[in-house]
Amino acid sequence: MANLLRTPTSGPVTIFTDGPPSESEAIKKGLTRVEDIGCRIETRRVKRLIPLQAPEEGVKVVLEDGEEYNMGFLTFKPDTVIKGRDMLVELGVELQNNPIMGEMIKVNEFGATNIPGVFAAGDAAVMMKAVTTSLNSGKLYSLLDPLVRSSVIS
C-alpha cells in the first residue's frame, strides 16, 4: 500500500525488518513480491529513530552499523496478540494463523465466530490492522443485530 503513495521525488519504499526476517515461506514470498515492485528491503537492526528538525520533515532511521536513512513517513506493524486468547480457547472459538498477520479469530463476513451468538471485531478478526477498520467493524456488527452489542470481542 505504501508503494502506491510513492511520488517521483520520494524514492523507493524501504521496508525495515529490524534484523533477519523470518524464514517462513510466506514471509520470503512477500518480501520477493515487494522487491519485484521496486521496494527496498533493509534487514539490519534499527538502533534508534531521531525526529528530523525543521525545515525537514520525517524521521532519521539509524541502523546498527551507523548508516542513516531520512524517511518522510515511517509506520510500524507490531505482531497482533489476541488478549483474551485463553477465554476464546475455553469457549471453543476457532482461531486461524496467518503467516504474515499472525493469529486471528476465524469469522464469517458478518463477524460471527463458530460459536452461535459470539462475534469478533477489530484487529483480532480482520486482516486490515488499523484503528478505523477495527472501530468500523465493531460498529457495523452491532448495527446488524442488537444482541451482538453484548457479545462482540474486539
Does the domain at 85-153 match CATH 3.50.50.60? Answer given as yes
40 vs 12: CA distance, rounded Å: 7
CATH match for 2-71 among 3.60.15.10, 3.50.50.60, 3.30.70.1560, 3.40.50.300: 3.50.50.60
Q: Which residues have a Cβ under 8 Å from the Cβ of 77 and sit 6 or more positions away?
A: 129
Whether the pLDDT of residue 134 is over 90: the answer is no
Tell me what pLDDT residue 142 has: 56
pLDDT band for position 12 (cuts 50, 70, 90): confident
pLDDT band for position 138 (cuts 50, 70, 90): low
60 vs 67: CA distance, rounded Å: 10
pTM value surpassing 0.85: no
Whether the pLDDT of residue 151 is over 70: the answer is no
Cell numbers representing residue 150 in the block: 453484548
Average pLDDT, the chain: 80
Over residues 118-137, the mean pLDDT reads: 66
Cell numbers representing residue 89 in the block: 480457547
Q: Work out whether the CA dihedral 77, 100, 122, 1 comes out positive or negative.
A: positive
Ranges in the chain annotated CATH 3.50.50.60: 2-71, 85-153
Tell me what pLDDT residue 91 has: 93
Alpha helix segments (H runs only) across the chain: 25-36, 85-91, 131-144
67-109 pLDDT, tens digit per residue, is 999 988 787 777 677 888 899 999 999 999 876 677 889 998 8
pLDDT > 90 fraction of the chain, expressed in percent and rounded = 32
